[in-house]
Chain A
Amino acid sequence: MATTTAPAPSTLGARPRRARRAPGHSSLFTALPWLAPALLLIFGVVLYPAGYMVYTSFRKFNRIGVERGGAGFDNYQQALDYPGVNIGRVFLNTFIWVAVVTVVSIVISLFLAQFLNKQFRGRKLVRLAVVVPWAASVVMTTSIFFYGLNPDYGIINRFLVDVGILDSPYGFTKSAVPAFITAMVVAIFVSLPFTTYTILSGLQGVPDDVVEAAYVDGASAWQRYTKVILPMLRPAISIATLIMIINVFNSLPILQILVEAPGYDADITTTLIFKYKTVLGPGVASALSVVNFLVVMTVIAVYLAVLRPTKDR
């Protein structure tokens, strides 16, 4: 994969004379008109807001957002040590949330992709059906689960009682642990299309002749899968995992909509940031955002360093 990326300055190589006259500046100057829109966009929607967030995290604000001078590290201290919030539990929740949603989504997707890669009648329709949860807005999907799980009128609760799985309707979203588990199930549900399709595209890149060769050599189906196909899926799985980690880590709407429980036992850092924003103002919320950002950067750095997913073999 990495070898296919063309070296960026190759277009300039076609004009050696100008490049020789003023090597550094001119080439940058020539490239600028093409780079400018992207650079502006990156500066405007990534760098500037991120920088402003860091700045805000060191300013003192009251709850409604009126600035009251510098704050030093007070915001960070308050974000990590706010009475009533067990910050350790929140970080643990965040870890469980990311790990479970990512791993379970990928494992289920491996099965689903294998199935969707087979030839059968109506495959297009089935593939389409798998995309639908992705096409629907997360807020909408989550709201449907939220109302469906309501113990008084929810259709899912009603179904579970009618088929005899539950004796009486259960408040899935009403207390911390069940609500958290429910949110993970919904998160996996909405993540499946993305991971399935990434792996499916990887599967389609596995050449038939390699699999056939393994077959001829007498490898069993399981051996063919684990020894031949899975290693060739590595780039697809790595990309899916990386994007999932970032996405799930920063995911807000599912927990925000589903969890009705009091307290902070079903919070991850992202939802806590939102609670802080209302209760403690933008300073403390920004401080926790910065911490959140550092944590996700660390997780990704560790992931890249340990697994080296971009290496071809």
Chain B
Amino acid sequence: MTDSSPFRRRGRFGPARWAALSLAGALLLSACGGDDEGDSGSDGAAQPAASAGADLSTTIKILAPSYTDTSQADWQKVITGFNGKYPNVKVELQIEAWDGFTEKVQARIQGQDAPDILNDNNFADYANSDILYPIDEVMSPETLQSIEPALLKNGVGEDGTQWAAPDIASARLLAYNTDLFEQAGISAAPKTWDELLDAATKISKLGGGVYGYGMPLGQEEAQVEASLWVWGNGGDWVSGSDLTVASEQNVAAFEEMKKFIDAKATQPNPGASNRQAVADLFNQGKLGMYVSHPGLLAETRSKFPNVKFEVAPMPTKDGSASANLGVTDFIEAFDNGDEDRKAATKAFLDYLYTPEVYGPWAEGTGLLPVTSAAIQEKSASDTNNKPFYDVLSSVRFLPQGNPNWTALQNALQQNAGSIATQSAQEVLSGIEEQANAGG
């Protein structure tokens, strides 16, 4: 997911390591299969109390992205705890960088080696390919109920099935540099587009390589930035299962973005800027405002203490609509046609979401938790992220469950940046056409 960008790491597992892992996995799998037949009968009878855990003897595989430096260790801690209860379930963990994560998942699926548990930022493609378990088959009702309902809804596919369960969440709010605001003589955070443009232009005029508004329309997450503007104008990408990309409101929203670019109120080359590049500018004190998230701001706080900033809602056209964007990442379970692995997956996921386990794990990601209990606890104790917790129940989500969304997201990432050189109508019609063709 997009939220992870500050923590991008090159994959730590080269192909050789990966090949070795899968080979080891295959060997282990066959070995365990052999054991299984001998074990299950005698063991279960001898120790009825511990049977639930000790009986299960199989291998499950987890594929997860690297949120921070500690992601590997955080998962490993969960696995160690899990193995205390289920000693005969071997858990294979693969951590990959967000950069190119989708390709890694695709490669595993195409290699007939889909992970039992996947931590990712979309699920519609996999759900539509009939290769996922509905998540309620591999999570107990109690576990699902522990997740904040507004967030859980985000994992429902278009067919109404709960295909995925959120595991961490994040929201986007406007971060603004208070020193630059003061220098430019701006007293309050902008609420409307006109105020935003005014503030951004004033800050850009300060000169010295300082820019007003950071607009990342690069390939990493053009879909997020574009959504903020489209929603701010009361528009949307989809209506039911139809795409409404080139609707009147959306075109007007893109025209407004173009206005910012033409007025030089943004950083140069917005179409080629990723959020991290914009965040870097902000961290150097060279950017007035940009839309940020808890992970990035935590980095600013710890590594760039000289940058003084506040957080405000994303401005909208007339200040009335809400364009606060929320993102969740998901846990998904692939159907590998093996009942033992399914049972072990279920046991693992239920264990992962128990409060003592989930709390530290979620904290390790640097993002926001999704279980009601954890949100309640953290919103009281985590004052830095209070504004984000405050909006978490009212944020709008990208239509991740919509089967057209992935195609649309790809089209946005590739083409939204062209707004700097083409007309809004041209860009959006092209994106809609491409999304409709990309099946």
Contacts and interface: CB of A to CB of B under 8 A. Distances in A.
Nearest to A260: B272
A174 B268 contact: yes
Interface in B353-395: none
B437 A83 contact: yes
A62 B268 contact: no
A262 B219 contact: yes
Contacts of B109: 64-66
A278 B438 contact: no
Contacts of B431: 84
B385 to A, nearest CB: 28
Nearest to B286: A152
A278 B125 CA distance: 12
Contacts of A66: 109, 129, 131
A111 to B, nearest CB: 35
B106 A263 contact: no
B407 A278 contact: no
A153 to B, nearest CB: 8
Contacts of A65: 106, 109-110
B178 interface: no
Contacts of B280: 152
B272 A175 contact: yes
B328 interface: no
A261 B271 contact: yes
A279 B131 contact: no
B425 interface: no
A275 B410 CA distance: 10
A245 interface: no
Contacts of A264: 414
Interface stretch (B36-44, B145-153, B310-318, B415-423): B415-423
Given A83-B437, A173-B272, A260-B218, A278 B410 contact: yes
Q: Which residue of B128, B131, B272 has the most chain A CB atoms within 10 A of its CB atom?
A: B272
Contacts of B106: 64-65, 278
A78 interface: yes
Contacts of B434: 82-84
Interface in B183-236: 217-219, 222
Given A174-B269, A263-B417, A279 B129 contact: no
B131 A62 contact: no
A193 interface: no
Interface in B401-434: 406-407, 410-411, 414-418, 421, 430-431, 433-434
Contacts of A275: 414
A263 B414 contact: yes
A68 to B, nearest CB: 9
Nearest to A60: B439
Contacts of A62: 125, 128-129, 439
Nearest to A276: B438
A229 to B, nearest CB: 46
Nearest to A261: B272
A279 B272 CA distance: 19
Given A260-B272, A261-B271, A84 B411 contact: yes
Given A262-B414, A278-B102, A63 B272 contact: no
Contact of B410 (A64, A78, A279): A279
B103 interface: yes
A171 B416 CA distance: 18
A84 B272 contact: no
B341 to A, nearest CB: 20
B268 A151 contact: yes
Nearest to A83: B433
Contact of B268 (A171, A263, A280): A171
Contact of B103 (A78, A171, A278): A278
B271 A83 contact: no
14 contacts: A62-B125, A64-B110, A65-B106, A65-B109, A78-B437, A82-B438, A83-B430, A174-B268, A174-B269, A174-B272, A262-B272, A264-B414, A278-B103, A280-B439
Interface of A: 62-66, 78, 82-84, 151-152, 171, 173-175, 260-264, 275, 277-280, 282
Given A65-B109, A152-B281, A262-B417, 10 more contacts: A62-B129, A84-B411, A84-B430, A174-B269, A174-B271, A175-B271, A262-B414, A262-B416, A278-B106, A278-B410
